[in-house]
Amino acid sequence: MRIAMWSGPRNLSTAMMYAFSARSDCAVIDEPFYAAYLKESGEVHPMQEAILASQPQRASEVIAQCLGPIPDGKDIFYQKHMSHHMLPAFPLAWTDDVINVFLLRHPARVIASYNEKREKPVLDDIGIRQQAELFNRQMTLNGEPPVVIDSDDLLTNPATGLQALCEAIGIPYDAGMLSWPAGGNKADGVWAEHWYNAVWASTGLKATARKPVPVLSEALQEVCEQALPYYYQLEKYKLTF
């Protein structure tokens, strides 16, 4: 089984990768299209050269990796994908051969967190528009909505949320998904030292009270307003637990 988890940055996506990595039956991969995205788009990100050197830069090679043998002989291959990495030039037919799941987070939370690491994000940096496009493609092909899970809901009730997610995608729940050792994961991309400091310090998913949506600057609020229609579209389909 191959699971493609689609999210934007700062969506709890790394913690979710750690949760699946904690399963004995699961191999994980961290943003395999990142280098290909940088090469094709011309975007410049923190640790640019290290990222380009660490991964295949051709989308076709990444697709072969995603659909190839599951590493370490595991039964499940969890793939952490950033939806904005899927540029128009990249084929999407491969996504029909995986279970697609969409990890959602309120855009104001995403934007506030992203801005701390890479200032002045625009709509296409946070991936929500591309998430909606990928979601719509799968719903059109399959006649039913793919699985959507909201990271804010998951943080409020991690055990119940992970159980609901596992049930929705047809795998047994493993309580071991709730915890992992501090200090990072062997699957982390080379960019982890810039982006993953909080999850490196964590030891698992623990129930957290929902915080108010952050107040943004005028410029960032404009990006949020652009993102909200896509968020509300996907929110309608999220798992309830």
* Pure H helices in the chain: 13-21, 34-41, 48-54, 59-67, 107-117, 123-126, 128-142, 151-156, 158-169, 192-195, 197-201, 218-235
| Residue 183 to residue 170: CA distance in whole angstroms | 30
At residue 58, the 3 state secondary structure works out as coil
182-188 own/partner pairs: CB under 8 Å, 24+ apart: 185/17, 185/18, 185/21, 185/28, 185/30, 187/17, 187/21, 187/28, 187/29, 187/30, 188/14, 188/30
pLDDT tens, residue by residue, 46-104: 999 999 999 999 999 999 999 999 999 999 999 999 999 999 999 999 999 999 999 99
pLDDT at 43: 92
How confident is the model at residue 114, as a pLDDT? 86
| Residue 218 neighbours by CB under 8 Å, 6+ apart | none
Kindly give the confidence (pLDDT) of every residue in the chain, 241 residues in length, as a single tens digit, with 9 standing for 90 and above.
Answer: 999 999 999 889 999 999 999 999 999 999 999 999 999 999 999 999 999 999 999 999 999 999 999 999 999 999 999 999 999 999 999 999 999 999 999 999 999 988 988 888 999 999 999 999 999 999 999 999 999 999 999 999 999 999 999 999 999 999 999 999 999 999 999 999 988 988 999 999 999 989 899 999 999 999 999 999 999 999 999 999 9
| pLDDT computed for residue 151 by the predictor | 95
Question: Domains of the chain by range and CATH?
Answer: 2-235 (3.40.50)
Measured CA to CA in angstroms, residue 93 lies from 36, 72, 86 at distances of 17, 25, 12
Joined together, the tokens standing for residue 116 give 């701390």
Say what the pLDDT of residue 136 is.
97
